[in-house]
Amino acid sequence: MTWETHHEFAAQTYVVTRADLVRYAGASGDFNPIHWSDRVAISVGLPGVVAHGMYTLALASRALTSWVQDPARVVSFGGRFTKPVVVPDDDEGTEVVVSGRVTSLDDGIATIGLTVTNRGQKVLAKTEATVRC
Amino acid sequence: MPLDQALAGRTFASTPPYTVSVEKIAEFTTAIGADTSQGAEVAPLTFPIVVAFRAMAALLTDPEVGIELHNVVHGDQRFAQTRPIRAGDEITATLTVDSLRSAAGMDMIGTRTEIASVTGEHLGTAHATLVHRGGGK
């Protein structure tokens, strides 16, 4: 697979509902109640239940994997958690949008910068992957 | 109370061996909404958090360290991948506190968790910054 610098990948949109957070809590082992109890989330100053940062980062990794196809080519991947994704208690949930582009190419390694937004605001910062071309 | 600076450089006990099953990979993959129609032999990129999280518990629950769990926020997370984790791997995670900085009532704890198979093959490294409120002053 070869890309040019500044290559833009197709943005991916994922819907997040409360049921997704419950499922992720079980699969990951992170049962922090701010991810399933409005009472606890509000008591620590949040507007309500928020997604696990690692769930949002996993959605970004899902987009990355759809772009690079083979996960074995990924050398590194990560991001900083800057804003919580508030997930309402309804059937519609909220949308997380992941876009990405190649920011540099160096000696067979592509650096991909990802932008992850919810309700028009960035929720992760410095989200970046390095991938073998 | 800020955390004791002696925490920096400390390595905690490795987690007990964790056998990765096809079922566990399928559960995690489904939980992040990804496709399992091609099977679940290879774990998603962020799957190492399952064992890294267990390694983190050794740090967060150690009474001598004195971290108040409800005051901890996950600041950032990064994975360096040597190879993807696959079904059948038997893995352990070992956490080291790489850095500790206390300022303005916060402890910034830089952690590095090495993930390896029980046969000694290095699989990857998970880096996390944990922000502990209630430190400083």
Range of the domain at A123: 8-16+53-132
Query: Which percentage of chain B shows pLDDT scores above 90?
Result: 80
Q: Is residue A98 part of a domain?
A: yes
Q: Is residue A105 part of a domain?
A: yes
B122 to chain A, any CB pair closer than 8 A? The answer is no
Q: Is residue A32 part of a domain?
A: no
Average pLDDT, stretch B6-22? Answer: 96
B66 to chain A, any CB pair closer than 8 A? The answer is no
Give helix B22-31 / helix A18-28 axis angle, nearest 10°. 150
Assigned fold of B5-133: Thiol Ester Dehydrase; Chain A (3.10.129)
Q: Do B31 and A20 touch (CB under 8 A)?
A: yes
Spell out which residues of chain A touch residue B53, defining contact as CB-CB under 8 Å.
Answer: 28-30
Calpha distance A33→A106 (Å, rounded) = 43
Lowest model confidence (mean pLDDT) among B64-73, B88-97, B123-132: B64-73
pLDDT tens per residue across span B36-54 = 887 889 999 999 999 999 9
Q: Is residue A74 part of a domain?
A: yes
Confidence check: pLDDT of B137 > 60: no
- Predicted confidence at residue B134, as pLDDT, reads 74
Domain count, chain A: 1
Q: Report mean pLDDT in 10-residue bins for chain A, 133 residues.
A: 88 98 96 94 94 98 95 97 97 98 95 98 98 94
Q: Calculate how close chain B gets to A23, using CA atoms only, in Å.
A: 6
- From residue A32, give the alpha-carbon distance in Å to each of A37, B31, B44, B71: 9, 16, 22, 12
Average pLDDT, stretch B9-30? Answer: 97
Q: Do B44 and A81 touch (CB under 8 A)?
A: no
Q: Calculate how close chain A gets to B48, using CA atoms only, in Å.
A: 9
Q: Do A58 and B32 touch (CB under 8 A)?
A: yes
- Predicted confidence at residue B135, as pLDDT, reads 53
- Domain parsing of chain B, residue ranges: 5-133
Residue predicted with more confidence, B4 or B128: B128
Q: Calculate how close chain B gets to A57, using CA atoms only, in Å.
A: 8
Mean pLDDT over the full length of chain B: 93
- Predicted confidence at residue B136, as pLDDT, reads 45
Lowest model confidence (mean pLDDT) among A122-126, B32-36, B107-111: B32-36
- Predicted confidence at residue A3, as pLDDT, reads 85
Please, what is the Cα angle at A20 between A54 and A17, to 5 degrees?
Answer: 110
Q: Calculate how close chain B gets to A56, using CA atoms only, in Å.
A: 9
Q: Do A76 and B53 touch (CB under 8 A)?
A: no
Residue A42 main-chain phi, psi, to 5 deg:
-65, -35
- Predicted confidence at residue A11, as pLDDT, reads 98
Nearest CB to B33: which of A14, A26, A71?
A14
Spell out which residues of chain B touch residue A100, defining contact as CB-CB under 8 Å.
Answer: none
Q: Give the CATH number of the domain where residue A59 resides.
A: 3.10.129.10
* Residues of chain B numbered 23-52 and touching chain A (CB < 8 Å): 27-28, 30-34, 42, 44-46, 49-50
Calpha distance B107→B102 (Å, rounded) = 4
